[in-house]
Structure 1
Amino acid sequence: MSVTDINYDRTMGRWEPKSRERLEQAALALYGERGFEQTTVTEIAKRAGLTERTFFRHFADKREVLFGGSGMLQELFTTAVAAAPAGTTPIDAIGRALDVVAELFEQRHESARQRQAVIAANAELQERELIKLARLGAALADALRRRDVPEPAASLAAEAGIAVFKIAFERWIADPGQPDLGQLMRQSLDELKAVTAGE
């Protein structure tokens, strides 16, 4: 018997396997069916077969189901930039980070599509998404500065990387027939390089 096979009694408030994933799946399904505003934490927990207490162990509120992975995404981006070989140009260091992030999202296409649909339907969530992207851009610029990239080059490369990420991600979400996200990001980055080179 593996650890994930253990199923403790819910009434005792014990550990439940894959609670976070179950809550995320339940929330996305309910947000899609009923809308973000109309869905309650109680309904999310019930759909997941868990308690509200378990929900709040994983998320501060129902918005965090959509934004709880922001820290991990930022860490992936900045770690990949830091790991780029010495001498890598700022934009190519960002490109390496985009490749790493694309691999993560490829495994989550359907949940990423559901999440984006929920955010697109709610102005408050759209604002929160923009704040997340701004923080990500600032973290990328900081990672580049730690590589001794001067300003304004660090901020310009970071913001360009966020634009590439956003545009490629939107294309990938909008059309399931699109190539993989990594390919879309590389294409977008190549197009950006061509534009800035005046080609």
Structure 2
Amino acid sequence: MALGDKDVRVRLQQSALNLFAERGYERTTAAEIAARAGVTERTFFRHFPDKREVLFDGAAVLLSALTGFIETAPDGLAPLDVLFFAFNAVVPLLEANRHISHPRQEIIAATPALAERELTKHAAMAHALAKLLQLRGVSHLPAELAGHTGMAAFAQATTAWLDDPAIALSERLDLAYVGLKALWSAPTRAADAQTSPEAG
């Protein structure tokens, strides 16, 4: 029975994760991933431009899901509230893929080139979130600030959850949201007070 494209992609992803864990990312080739998945190297490159992108395939799916929830978020919400509405809405998607996301995160954390790629992907996602907020009528600067701040909080919450699932992802997101809100009203530190116009 022939496999569909989705099944082939999943098999390639799982084979890549297994090989990266066994041999290390640098010592694994696209040909080896294809062989482990039971397909040709040509089939591998039909689905992924290189072995690195096997690990980042979910970014487009995540952005698509976030886009839908941002577009349908209730009117009247502040920019960060819109983003956290969407972040919480994709929790089931992330939970369903934890068995892939957890080993993926470990491989990325252990490979500097992949960690750098992850940061680039996060920056692109933050910019995309900002553009989506602008489509809701948020002006450029608040949209950019919310996009980058929100993405940083989302990444922190999901990474912490992948490291330790004892605290649910929804709770991690709540903690991140409360933490961000607390930053705006945090008391002035003594060092800051000493440099204020009223000091000394």
TM beyond 0.5: yes
Task: Determine if the alignment matches structure 1 residue 33 to structure 2 residue 22.
Answer: yes
TM-score, normalised to structure 1, is: 0.87
Whole-angstrom distance in 2 between the partners of 1:35 and 1:103: 30
Whole-angstrom distance in 1 between the partners of 2:63 and 2:147: 12
Unaligned 5+ residue runs, structure 2? 188-200
Matched AA of 1:161? G
5 Å-filtered alignment, 1:65-76, equals: 65-76=54-65
Residue 131 (structure 1) aligned to one of 120, 125, 128: 120
Task: Determine if the alignment matches structure 1 residue 191 to structure 2 residue 142.
Answer: no
Task: Determine if the alignment matches structure 1 residue 64 to structure 2 residue 61.
Answer: no
5 Å-filtered alignment, 1:86-101, equals: 86-101=75-90
Give 1 or 2 for the bigger CA radius of gyration: 2
Q: How many residues align?
A: 187
Deviations 1:70-95 (A, max 9, x none): 22222222222121111111111011
5 Å-filtered alignment, 1:48-197, equals: 48-177=37-166, 179-197=167-185
Which of 134-143 and 117-126 deviates more?
A: 117-126
Deviations 1:67-119 (A, max 9, x none): 12222222222222121111111111011111123221101112111111111
Percentage of matched positions with identical amino acids:
42
Deviations 1:144-199 (A, max 9, x none): 1111112321111111211111111121111132x221221122112211222337
- Structure 1: which 4+ aligned runs deviate by more than 4 Å? 14-17
Whole-angstrom distance in 2 between the partners of 1:109 and 1:124: 22
| Residue 16 of structure 1: how far off its partner (Å) | 7.1
SS at match of 1:45: helix
Indicate conservation of the 8 Å contact 1:103/1:182, yes or no: no
Which of 162-171 and 128-137 deviates more?
A: 162-171
Q: Return closer, same or farther for 1:32/1:93 CA change in 2, 3 Å cut-off.
A: same
CA RMSD of aligned residues (A): 1.7
| Residue 15 of structure 1: how far off its partner (Å) | 5.5
Indicate conservation of the 8 Å contact 1:119/1:125, yes or no: yes
